[in-house]
Structure 1
Amino acid sequence: MAINEEFENGENKGTGELTEPFISREKVTSYEEVESHMSSNRGKIGMVLLSTAVAVCGSFEFGSCVGYSAPTQSAIREDLQLSLSEYSMFGSILTIGAMVGALTSGQIADFIGRKGAMVLSSLFCIAGWLTVYLSKGALSLDIGRVFTGYGCGIFSYVVPIFIAEIAPKNLRGGLTTVNQLMIVLGSSVAFLIGSIVTWRTLALTGLIPCVLLLLGLFFVPESPRWLAKMGRQKEFEVAMRRLRGKDVDITEEVTEIQDYIETLHALPKAGVLDLFQRKYIRSLIIGVGLMILQQFGGINGIGFYVSETFIAAGCSGKTGTIAYACVQVPITLLGALLIDISGRRPLIMISATGTFLGCFFTGMSFFLKSHDLLLEWAPMLAVSGVLIYIGSFAIGMGPVPWVMMSEIFPINVKGAAGSFVTLICWFGAWAVSYTFNFLMNWSSAGTFFFYSGVSAITVLFVAKFVPETKERTLEEIQASINM
């Protein structure tokens, strides 16, 4: 990296006096002053925080799309005369669009950049929301939902990648968890606003985070790592300066990034079929297993149609939805704080135990109601069960599998593994969200007992197959997996 030309090896060419190009031209008289100045340089993270705030508008948009169907089900069905199967298609088809978005997200983000991918996602979501707002029937509703799903699929990949690539290593973990927090916040806000406005108005509120994101991207730099990967050296250095501060010595970090890019180029490209080699198969079993169990525990069915679930249990759909929304955010924040304290395995096992109990209590409430037993207790049991379920899911089963995805696969197969596991996740989300209403018509109690069984299997799966990854290097994690 070039620095001011009048300095060479810390010596002023004109006077021979020792200088401090990265600290100050004035003489530093004490250790405390040096520490104060270095802390000032390290503290110049305003652009990192602004860039993160802009990017997580995409996460908020993702949550808004997921949360939209819960408070609007009865109103949309009544206004547009939709059958149960037509609304189930509308609710679940978001995940079909997201699957396609997730499959193409890596190539898009590599081809047009992280900022370009977020712009494309926003445009698809805007088109989708406007289509939903103007809908007169099931077909236009579904087209709009697919568009927003496609945007969400790209957001689900590019937002955490962008944040991880711009953040200093000491802040990367904390800033990356903001992504999950904003998804939950977006979903909760959609639940709350949807309880007081019409479904068409709620669709228009989905435009707000997209517009904020598009405006914000004008003021933040592109990912330096992507610029380095594309060989755009001058823009790479400019982006690093904007993110770290013009007076900060970025030489070491720049060298690390360039070495990492060279390592990536040197490694052979891995495809999905390579994941089935013996040396990767246990990592694949862990990754796919966690995602299947996460989804088939019922989260998207319960989340997409929570208002109707409360009504079926004999509760107020609006009150239950508001309570659901209020529980998600603080519990997700608590989980983000605990993940590096408790470790991954204990947190996910405690979480799965909680989702088991939540589904079991909800199933019991429907069982009691169907047999005319303890009818005064059934609604309270249903509300308690659903709230226990969502609180337990938010603290572990929601975020932890995604954290582990970034830790259990070797660097040379992370791209292929991430795409494959994300596809499995979205397929599971579609299957659960599409079948939920049909299962509830078949047996409400049986539906929740099935989900509680999946949660019980999750505890056993984690205890048997999943290693602890907290405070371990990649090499240590691989050694524990392949023992």
Structure 2
Amino acid sequence: MIGAVASGPMADFFGRKGALRISTAFCTVGWLAIYFAQGPLPLDIGRLATGFGMGVFSYVVPVFIAEIAPKSLRGALTAANQLMICTGVSVAFIIGTVLTWRNLALTGLIPCAVLLVGLFFVPESPRWLAKIGKHKEFEAALRKLRGKDADVSEEAYEIQDYIETLQKLPKAKLFDLFQRRYLRSVTIGVGLMVCQQFGGINGICFYTSSIFESAGFPADIGTIIYAILQVIITALNALFVDKAGRKPLLLVSGAGLVIGCLLTAISFYLKTYEIGLEAAPALAVTGILLYIASFSAGMGAVPWIIMSEIFPINIKGAAGSLATLTNWFGAWLISFTFNFLLSWSSYGTFLVYAAINLAGILFIIVMVPETKGRTLEQIQAAINA
């Protein structure tokens, strides 16, 4: 959450690449502190440093991708970020079964090194360069991204014209986000993060094994199926998000989340009152796997895609920090309360999540626009008109 608060100002002040380098440094220090730890304090420092780095990454990466990608590929490339996260988690689970935790911490240095080297070959965000008045660098970066033979004059004009309009406005602070001109984009960005996290994903994610065991299904088999399913569906999402559109994927995803929660709730209800016990495990497994597949199909990646698209560049730092903070606060709150809710009522917990996901569907129908196939400037002008 601290990293989320710092991410927007860092990305605005140091640039997208500068913010990525700083967060990589925090992650590197964190993994080394964990590896060399001889007591709890270095472990806590390491976790704090890597947590800060990840809080910054979670905002800067989708924003950076959205700002450098052509509009026809923006959704797929931003969704690919979520695919890499899912794949990384799955890989960590697999290699964690054969490595000690100290050596596992060392493996975290590998992507840090790849990123630090790779950033020397990646141009800075043209939109950020235009915003700070580096016009030569802006055109060079855009030409490098689009190819030396591409005609970038129309795109360059549109970006510069939009930024010049925004430059006439005062730089936005946190409380300025609630002005009428920005309120819709902020409501959409923050609201989608609420929908993503408060629907129960982190509680269900972290306690998948326990849920399968409680339902009477082998936890190891369920967890392996869960990990494979998540990666496959997230990969399909990255392929189709620019064709199917953001809003349809969110609505299909939300419907699946509601049905998955209801199936799991029915399973626990049957188990609690000892009715049809032979059907309970199958219902629980079907419900959880449908929930995970549905989340991966839309609600996992699409809120980050839309968040990276809808904020005008003069409020992107403050608004992005607020949306990312909301996301990590939701992740913490759901993780913290999940066991308490499960102790209160196992089936009631999933009914609560079903109701929240249903409210999320209504929010998406009423508030969220379709953004596929439009430039960032077109999207932001339409929302903040």
Fold agreement, TM-score > 0.5: yes
How far the C-alpha of 1:294 sits from its partner, in A, is: 1.8
Distance 2:291 2:19 in 1: 34
Question: Contact 1:296/1:428 (CA < 8 Å) preserved in 2?
Answer: yes
Q: Residue 293 of structure 1 aligns with which residue?
A: 195
Q: Per the alignment, do residues 213 and 245 of structure 1 end up closer, same or farther by CA in structure 2, a change over 3 Å counting?
A: same
How far the C-alpha of 1:236 sits from its partner, in A, is: 4.3
The one of 114, 139, 151 equivalent to 1:212 is 114
Q: Residue 163 of structure 1 aligns with which residue?
A: 65
SS in 2 for 1:377: helix
The one of 423, 432, 437 equivalent to 2:334 is 432
- Is the counterpart of residue 323 in structure 1 residue 228 in structure 2? no
Q: TM-score, normalised by structure 2?
A: 0.85
How far the C-alpha of 1:389 sits from its partner, in A, is: 0.5
- Is the counterpart of residue 416 in structure 1 residue 321 in structure 2? no
Q: Residue 149 of structure 1 aligns with which residue?
A: 51
Question: Contact 2:262/2:350 (CA < 8 Å) preserved in 1?
Answer: yes
Q: What are the residue-to-residue correspondences of 1:37-436 with 2, within 5 Å?
A: 99-135=1-37, 139-248=41-150, 250-409=152-311, 412-436=314-338
Distance 1:385 1:195 in 2: 27
RMSD (Å) for aligned C-alpha atoms = 3.0
Q: TM-score, normalised by structure 1?
A: 0.70
How far the C-alpha of 1:456 sits from its partner, in A, is: 2.0
Letter in 2 for 1:327: L
Question: Contact 2:75/2:242 (CA < 8 Å) preserved in 1?
Answer: no
Question: Contact 2:250/2:298 (CA < 8 Å) preserved in 1?
Answer: yes
Distance 1:366 1:292 in 2: 26
Q: Residue 29 of structure 1 aligns with which residue?
A: none
Ranges in structure 1 where 5+ consecutive residues have no aligned partner: 1-98
SS in 1 for 2:289: helix
Question: Contact 2:270/2:277 (CA < 8 Å) preserved in 1?
Answer: yes
Cα distance per residue 1:287-317 (max 9 Å; x no partner)? 3333222211111122233233333333333
Cα distance per residue 1:251-303 (max 9 Å; x no partner)? 55444444444333223222222232344444444433332222111111222
Q: Per the alignment, do residues 414 and 365 of structure 1 end up closer, same or farther by CA in structure 2, a change over 3 Å counting?
A: same
Question: Contact 2:212/2:285 (CA < 8 Å) preserved in 1?
Answer: yes
Q: Per the alignment, do residues 125 and 454 of structure 1 end up closer, same or farther by CA in structure 2, a change over 3 Å counting?
A: same
Cα distance per residue 1:462-483 (max 9 Å; x no partner)? 334444445564378438xx9x
Distance 2:297 2:315 in 1: 28
Letter in 1 for 2:52: Y
Letter in 2 for 1:217: L
Cα distance per residue 1:229-257 (max 9 Å; x no partner)? 44445544554454444455555544444
Give the number of the structure with larger relative contact order, counting CA–CA contacts within 8 Å between residues 6 or more apart.
Answer: 2
Q: Per the alignment, do residues 165 and 458 of structure 1 end up closer, same or farther by CA in structure 2, a change over 3 Å counting?
A: closer
Distance 1:170 1:464 in 2: 25
Letter in 2 for 1:444: S
Q: Per the alignment, do residues 452 and 110 of structure 1 end up closer, same or farther by CA in structure 2, a change over 3 Å counting?
A: same
Distance 1:173 1:318 in 2: 34
Distance 2:4 2:244 in 1: 31
Percent identity of the aligned residues? 61
Distance 1:393 1:225 in 2: 31
Higher helix share: 2
Distance 1:313 1:232 in 2: 59
Letter in 1 for 2:92: A
How far the C-alpha of 1:327 sits from its partner, in A, is: 0.7
- Matched residue count: 382
How far the C-alpha of 1:342 sits from its partner, in A, is: 3.7
